Chain A
Amino acid sequence: MEGARKRAPFDRHCVRSEGGARDTELTTRRGRLVDRMGSHCSPRRLALVTALSIAAGAVLFFAPFAGNEPASAAEPRIATSVCNAHELKAEKAKNPGLEIEIPEEFNRDYPTPAACKSHAAALRTDTDGAVQPIPFSHKHHAGEWKIDCQYCHSGTDRSRAAGVPSVELCMGCHEQFPAEYDELSGIQTLKQHWREGRSIQWTQIHRLPEHVKFQHQAHMRRGDLGIQCQTCHGPVETMDKVLLTPDTKWWPWGVPTKKLEMGWCVMCHRDNGASQDCLTCHY
């Protein structure tokens, strides 16, 4: 059972055991609730401090040699891919003096500069958020192309579960796109999955324990209260890598609750006159 689960490059959170609560989904062992902020033991903070110190040290160390660096020869920079060509063109637009050379095979429109950018951003390991098996960018799809959330997460308005799109749904669009898109490793991975009939194992970001029965449909119905996907999921359409954006609500007596924690849910239910009955979510 345990072997099926992999440790993902998730570095921000800390775990504590919760006595009464039991997270007992089919494939899980004894449940653990997650303190999603994990401020007191965050490896991220540690990494940040370390990186800053090293950078400062390096600057101090190399400062005396700076003046002696030879000026680089004005060799033209040669693009190595369409995406790279887009980058060089953008640089040249800013700095007209730059010499660039773009081979014919890389002088194309696709993948678009935006696609290249998002793809690269979603692949970065030094930013927040999990690296997914495919560097899928919500910013590119939902933000730039303005694809409706429910086009892919189609169960949202009629089921408890929003659903994750099938490989077939991805291919529905991507099969029609120019072959040049294959330059992106993510597209190659997608097509490989489609060819082999394998599903994509995404890392779950917005996760509730099994004893919470969240109903997507119930929340989608209340657009009249201003409840949108972003209310809980954050500005997904601006994220290349989806992550749990920090949000805090304060109880009247000053106790903070974090996003997707029960207090956070209850505050919203309270403010909107929704059910505060335990059995609404726990059964």
Chain B
Amino acid sequence: MPEIARRDFLKLVGVSAGGAAAAGCAEKVEQLIPYVVQPEEVTPGKPVFYASSCTECSVGCGILVKTREGRPIKLEGNPEHPVNKGKLCSKAQASIGRTYSPDRFKGPLRRDAGGALLPITWDEAIAQIAEAVKKSPAGVHVLGGDPGDTANTVIDQVVAALGAQRTTYIPFSGEALREAARLVFGVASEPVFDLSGADLVLDFGAELLESGPSPVEHQRQWAEARDIDAHALDGGARLVYVGSRLSLTASSSDQWLAARPGSEGVLALALAHAAVKAAGAASPHAALLSGALAKFDADTAAAQTDIAADVIRSLGAALARANSALALPPGVGVTSRRAVGANAAVLVLNQVLGAIGRSVTVSAEIPGARARAKYADVLALTKRMQSGGVSVLLVHNGNPAYSLPKATGFSEALAKVGLVVSFATAADETSALAQLVLPDHAPLESWGDLRPRSGVRGAIQPSFKPLYDTQSLADSLLAIARKVGGASAAALPAGDFHSIVNAAWADTDARAALQRGGVFAAAVPAANALFDASKLDVALPELSGSGEFTLLAFPHITLGDGRGAALGLLQEVPDAVTHVLWESWAEISVATAAKLGAETGDILTVTTGAGDLEVAAYVRGGIRDDVIAIPTGQGHTVGWYASKEEVGMPGMARGVNVAALLSGQTDEAGGQAWLTEKAAVSNTGRHRRLPMLQFSDNKRGRQLGEAVTLAALNGHDEHAAHHGAHEMRVEYDPAADAADEQYERTFQARGQKNVKASDYRWGLTVDLDKCTGCSACITACYVENNIPVVGETEIRNVRPMTWLRIDRWIGDGETDFMNETGRIQTAPSREKLGEVDVRNAPIMCQQCGAAPCEPVCPVIATYHNEEGLNGMIYNRCIGTRYCANNCPYKVRRYNYFDNQITKWPSPMELGLNPDVTVRGQGVMEKCTFCVQRIQFARQDAKNLGGHNAVIADGAIQTACQQTCPSNAISFGNLRDDASAVSLKADSKRGYHALHVLNTRPAVTYLSKVVRGPAV
């Protein structure tokens, strides 16, 4: 090699630098890639909606998949669907992330000897399974959750053709309620509870507003039944909550009975007893007093439930007086070994209240996977696997290796199975133990159907082509059965799963059904339902172990049975009660904390007979002293967001899986019992701050979450009215709108011509009386506005990117400033056992008329427009963050990183909304009132009505408003006196957040109405 002299070297460097500069001096070229054949319905730039059904839980809400240029970008509720009527919960909103999950399998895989997953072709994989099946057909077992209606039938056919066996396992599947309905009414189906028209609702732990039997539907019905405008005098329906912790549902209730966990059945019968007694001899159920209800008088029950006898008696009397009362059964968290008795007791109470047939429909049994799901069957299967009786295990629609209690030994038993095949769409704990992975399509890529309840038949249709080399579960199973061959294979339906679904829908107008999202009719009551209370067997459950606390493993609102953990968005939307995110926590009472010497964030060791866990304490007043409550859903070891892979620790569990503390017991119906353990708790002395976004529930008298008593609202209580919300609103007066004047002055001063005052001033109202804190709005906002999921590290740095948060305050608070020490610490909880005074206040940019952020921006990146919007112009922003410092509502968010580009794993970026700019590093952002939707509606109106057309009221729905299950949010034009939002903003209850600052917000809050306890 010739030597290069120093001078030559410098020359060369100079040349290459010049070359680099020249290369940089070229335009970045983008390409336009049109369709080969453009679908008729597609106009680039305009969304196309496909009706489908949500598969995140068993409710089966209708969804509309919004696609742009053929790519799903958002889910919205299907307004025609009778269950959710256009609304969706947080889980459904986030479920678009399943399609673009970084955990997805990109094709069939096999595990090699070293444990690594290697690609394999579909044919090879199917052949391998078929060979194993042929070897021992009797050892073939199919295990899974609910794949949908037709797919369920296909699996049955395949199982029959193979001579195999099948077990259905759904973690939260309501075995106890079905069995109770069979005992009491002779029909083993889950009754449908309808809150519309109710005036007194009892929730025995169903958590009807969060993880209950049909949360979206119940939130709407609850909000309508107590709409203060429709029920101005009496305040509408009252909600009484029975449970050991102040859950989200309890937070929205009027009265909280902090009964001993497991005593729901006793309390229900005691209330039935009291109600029948109060009704007197005229009651049609008077005979029960000496029969099934004989043992459950108020005094006996008081000792068992910790609820005072006079409360039981007066509530019973109130129930007897009520025109339309109903009770909801115990939920998952309080499913004890005596759960069937407790559920039956609640059904008996409903019968006594006359709710059966009116508010509670006992409908005919629906055949399907859910109806036959039984936890006890999995225990039997596990035994069979342990004894080597299973040669091929096909696992679909579920993650049993995660969700089953560790004590069942399922994961260890998997090792004794010859061939484990997983049909998972994305990597999970079960597929990590499988030898073959035959990935199913993501829900938005699948055909299918659902029959979630009587009268509802939901369609599932793909909204785009599968992203990867996947195949539907039914097609994979059919391929296996056909490959195995034999006489029985000939009986299998011909064609692929899509044609089988079409055939199943042949009795309907399938095209119309796909357009509407399904076929909907009223629920058909079971003809053979008879009331029989004689088989009631209600008693307090026995708990195993010797600890001093009762372990309450309650369903996490959004992570549910663990399915939600894989979605980064659900990890990043805080739990609405504790404001903890990305972690597990253990709720303990203030007294317990004092006894343990623990504070929030201290690591506790929780020990039961089945095992022990270390989990951070969350100290609160709203939990019984004898209970320690840990949410389900976390503790995954597989998955980008589900485990700690996202923070660079693959394989490390995020939070804890509370199932490790359960001994895996069943209730009387063979369902999984969650309330079975006594726990001992000790303080490790270690501390790690919990990732949280709100550190105090004391609003210190500031106008952030106001409440007004019913009496004050009706003018009966002058003193309260004076201190109520009435005077907090600055009347909106267009003539004196300082924002307008300021805007016009500014433009006149700059010599701009042709600036005219606008016809619009956009405004939003939030009815705190309807807000339950369910957080669906936050999730919808994330998806609509391309808000990045930033991950645990950034959340621990308290740098969330959310444009909308829900502040949770307990009462008005005191004006103390004891917590101002300059560092993040958690203030003492103001919750009190048995008291409900919770205000959930969604806080987004208030679009202030006199915005404090605007004058401090040195580059006018934030400014006020003539329509009253506080604009945030990303391309002007230089990132001084002065605006965020000056914002009194703290709603501005700063991009410390190029989150979507540097932090998001592929293919998450495919789900971005092309109508919203993705903000880059160094740019401030905040709620825009969904300005892209305003501009879209404006163009739409003008396309139809010409240049001078006005946007009709209701044509714009912000993402948060669109999804709000309780219709708490209104949006529209405040300059139009007849618009829905103007009428709302003029409400007596209206107030502006922090009105003393005179920021003249465009957001009006409507005070929560304190109705007082039901009795």
**Residues of A that sit less than 8 Å from B by CB:** 5-8, 10-15, 18-22, 24-26, 28-32, 34, 38, 41, 43, 130, 154-155, 157-169, 193-194, 197-204, 207, 209-211, 213, 215-218, 221-222, 270, 273, 276-280, 282-283
Given contacts A30-B901, A163-B44, contact A24 B26 (CB under 8 A): no
Contact check, B935 vs A213: say whether CB atoms are below 8 A apart: yes
Known: A20-B874, A213-B915. 4 other contacts (CB 8 A): A28-B30, A201-B33, A273-B754, A278-B865
Judge if B952 is at the interface, Cβ distance under 8 Å: no
Contact check, B942 vs A221: say whether CB atoms are below 8 A apart: yes
Given contacts A167-B36, A193-B36, A279-B931, contact A24 B900 (CB under 8 A): yes
Name A278's contact: one of B43, B876, B898, B901 (CB within 8 Å). Answer: B876
Q: Number of B interface residues at 8 Å Cβ cutoff, please give it.
A: 64
* Nearest CB of B to A277, in Å: 5
The residue in chain A whose Cβ has the minimal distance to the Cβ of B29 is: A8
Given contacts A8-B29, A270-B754, contact A158 B943 (CB under 8 A): yes
Contact check, B935 vs A168: say whether CB atoms are below 8 A apart: no
Contact check, B874 vs A22: say whether CB atoms are below 8 A apart: yes
B879-914: CB near A (< 8 Å → 1, else 0) gives 100000000000000000010110000000110101
In the complex, chain A residues whose CB is within 8 Å of the CB of B649: none
Cα distance A209–B43 in the bound complex, in angstroms = 21
Name B44's contact: one of A15, A159, A168, A210 (CB within 8 Å). Answer: A159
Judge if B817 is at the interface, Cβ distance under 8 Å: no
Given contacts A20-B877, A29-B901, A159-B45, contact A199 B36 (CB under 8 A): yes
Cα distance A25–B35 in the bound complex, in angstroms = 19
* Nearest CB of A to B904, in Å: 11
The residue in chain B whose Cβ has the minimal distance to the Cβ of A152 is: B34
Contact check, A203 vs B942: say whether CB atoms are below 8 A apart: no
B219-233: CB near A (< 8 Å → 1, else 0) gives 000000000000000
Contact check, B32 vs A204: say whether CB atoms are below 8 A apart: yes
Contact check, B44 vs A155: say whether CB atoms are below 8 A apart: yes
Contact check, B28 vs A32: say whether CB atoms are below 8 A apart: yes
Contact check, B909 vs A166: say whether CB atoms are below 8 A apart: no
Contact check, A5 vs B943: say whether CB atoms are below 8 A apart: no
Contact check, A201 vs B754: say whether CB atoms are below 8 A apart: no
Cα distance A195–B43 in the bound complex, in angstroms = 24
Contact check, A22 vs B875: say whether CB atoms are below 8 A apart: yes
Judge if B869 is at the interface, Cβ distance under 8 Å: yes
**Secondary structure type dominating chain A contacts:** loop
Candidate in A22, A30, A43, A160 with the most chain B CB atoms within 10 angstroms? A22
In the complex, chain A residues whose CB is within 8 Å of the CB of B38: 165-166, 168-169
In the complex, chain A residues whose CB is within 8 Å of the CB of B871: 277-279, 282
In the complex, chain A residues whose CB is within 8 Å of the CB of B877: 20
Judge if B979 is at the interface, Cβ distance under 8 Å: no
* Nearest CB of B to A163, in Å: 4
Chain A to chain B contacts (Cβ below 8 Å), 12 pairs: A7-B29, A15-B25, A20-B877, A22-B921, A28-B30, A43-B25, A130-B29, A163-B45, A204-B32, A211-B875, A218-B942, A279-B873
Cα distance A15–B935 in the bound complex, in angstroms = 31
Candidate in B916, B919, B935 with the most chain A CB atoms within 10 angstroms? B935
Given contacts A22-B917, A22-B923, A211-B875, contact A283 B928 (CB under 8 A): yes
Cα distance A31–B922 in the bound complex, in angstroms = 13
* Nearest CB of B to A88, in Å: 37
Judge if B388 is at the interface, Cβ distance under 8 Å: no
Q: Which residues of B from 917 to 935 have beta carbons under 8 Å from A?
A: 917-923, 928, 931-932, 935
Contact check, B752 vs A200: say whether CB atoms are below 8 A apart: no
In the complex, chain A residues whose CB is within 8 Å of the CB of B917: 22, 24, 210-211, 213, 282-283
Given contacts A19-B878, A29-B901, A277-B865, contact A198 B859 (CB under 8 A): no
* Nearest CB of B to A235, in Å: 21
Q: Which residues of B from 42 to 99 have beta carbons under 8 Å from A?
A: 43-46
* Nearest CB of B to A237, in Å: 19
The residue in chain B whose Cβ has the minimal distance to the Cβ of A221 is: B947
Q: Which residues of B from 739 to 755 have beta carbons under 8 Å from A?
A: 752-755
Contact check, B45 vs A161: say whether CB atoms are below 8 A apart: yes
Cα distance A163–B39 in the bound complex, in angstroms = 13
Name B878's contact: one of A20, A200, A207, A282 (CB within 8 Å). Answer: A20
* Nearest CB of B to A130, in Å: 8
Given contacts A166-B36, A270-B752, contact A217 B939 (CB under 8 A): yes
Contact check, A11 vs B26: say whether CB atoms are below 8 A apart: yes
Cα distance A204–B44 in the bound complex, in angstroms = 16
In the complex, chain A residues whose CB is within 8 Å of the CB of B866: 277
* Nearest CB of A to B801, in Å: 15
Cα distance A11–B875 in the bound complex, in angstroms = 26
Top 3 A-B pairs ranked by shortest CB distance? A22-B920, A161-B45, A159-B45
Given contacts A15-B25, A201-B31, A213-B932, contact A26 B36 (CB under 8 A): no
Contact check, A283 vs B34: say whether CB atoms are below 8 A apart: no
B778-810: CB near A (< 8 Å → 1, else 0) gives 000000000000000000000000000000000
The residue in chain A whose Cβ has the minimal distance to the Cβ of B895 is: A22
Given contacts A160-B45, A210-B917, contact A166 B34 (CB under 8 A): yes
In the complex, chain A residues whose CB is within 8 Å of the CB of B648: none
* Nearest CB of A to B338, in Å: 55
Contact check, A31 vs B920: say whether CB atoms are below 8 A apart: yes
Q: Which residues of B from 197 to 223 have beta carbons under 8 Å from A?
A: none
Contact check, B28 vs A24: say whether CB atoms are below 8 A apart: no
Contact check, A22 vs B46: say whether CB atoms are below 8 A apart: no
Contact check, A199 vs B29: say whether CB atoms are below 8 A apart: no
Contact check, A279 vs B31: say whether CB atoms are below 8 A apart: no
In the complex, chain B residues whose CB is within 8 Å of the CB of A222: 947
Contact check, B863 vs A278: say whether CB atoms are below 8 A apart: yes
Contact check, A167 vs B859: say whether CB atoms are below 8 A apart: no
* Nearest CB of A to B862, in Å: 10
In the complex, chain A residues whose CB is within 8 Å of the CB of B921: 22, 30
Judge if B946 is at the interface, Cβ distance under 8 Å: yes
The residue in chain A whose Cβ has the minimal distance to the Cβ of B866 is: A277
Name A207's contact: one of B30, B861, B865, B875 (CB within 8 Å). Answer: B30
Contact check, B35 vs A20: say whether CB atoms are below 8 A apart: no
The residue in chain B whose Cβ has the minimal distance to the Cβ of A252 is: B751
Given contacts A13-B27, A30-B901, A204-B32, contact A161 B44 (CB under 8 A): yes
In the complex, chain A residues whose CB is within 8 Å of the CB of B863: 278
In the complex, chain B residues whose CB is within 8 Å of the CB of A276: 752, 754-755
Name B45's contact: one of A22, A155, A193 (CB within 8 Å). Answer: A155
Contact check, B29 vs A158: say whether CB atoms are below 8 A apart: no
In the complex, chain A residues whose CB is within 8 Å of the CB of B943: 157-158, 217, 221
Name B920's contact: one of A24, A34, A161 (CB within 8 Å). Answer: A24
Contact check, A210 vs B918: say whether CB atoms are below 8 A apart: yes
Given contacts A273-B754, A279-B931, contact A199 B919 (CB under 8 A): no
Judge if B521 is at the interface, Cβ distance under 8 Å: no
Judge if B24 is at the interface, Cβ distance under 8 Å: yes
Given contacts A22-B923, A270-B752, contact A168 B36 (CB under 8 A): yes
Contact check, A164 vs B755: say whether CB atoms are below 8 A apart: no
In the complex, chain A residues whose CB is within 8 Å of the CB of B901: 24, 29-30
The residue in chain A whose Cβ has the minimal distance to the Cβ of B756 is: A273
Cα distance A205–B898 in the bound complex, in angstroms = 27
Cα distance A251–B613 in the bound complex, in angstroms = 70
In the complex, chain B residues whose CB is within 8 Å of the CB of A29: 901
The residue in chain B whose Cβ has the minimal distance to the Cβ of A11 is: B26
Candidate in B32, B879, B918, B919 with the most chain A CB atoms within 10 angstroms? B32
Judge if B37 is at the interface, Cβ distance under 8 Å: yes
* Nearest CB of B to A248, in Å: 19
Cα distance A13–B867 in the bound complex, in angstroms = 38
Contact check, A283 vs B931: say whether CB atoms are below 8 A apart: yes
The residue in chain B whose Cβ has the minimal distance to the Cβ of A36 is: B27
Cα distance A193–B755 in the bound complex, in angstroms = 50
The residue in chain B whose Cβ has the minimal distance to the Cβ of A34 is: B27
Contact check, B935 vs A283: say whether CB atoms are below 8 A apart: yes
The residue in chain B whose Cβ has the minimal distance to the Cβ of A225 is: B947
The residue in chain B whose Cβ has the minimal distance to the Cβ of A160 is: B45
In the complex, chain A residues whose CB is within 8 Å of the CB of B922: 19-20
Name B865's contact: one of A19, A213, A279 (CB within 8 Å). Answer: A279
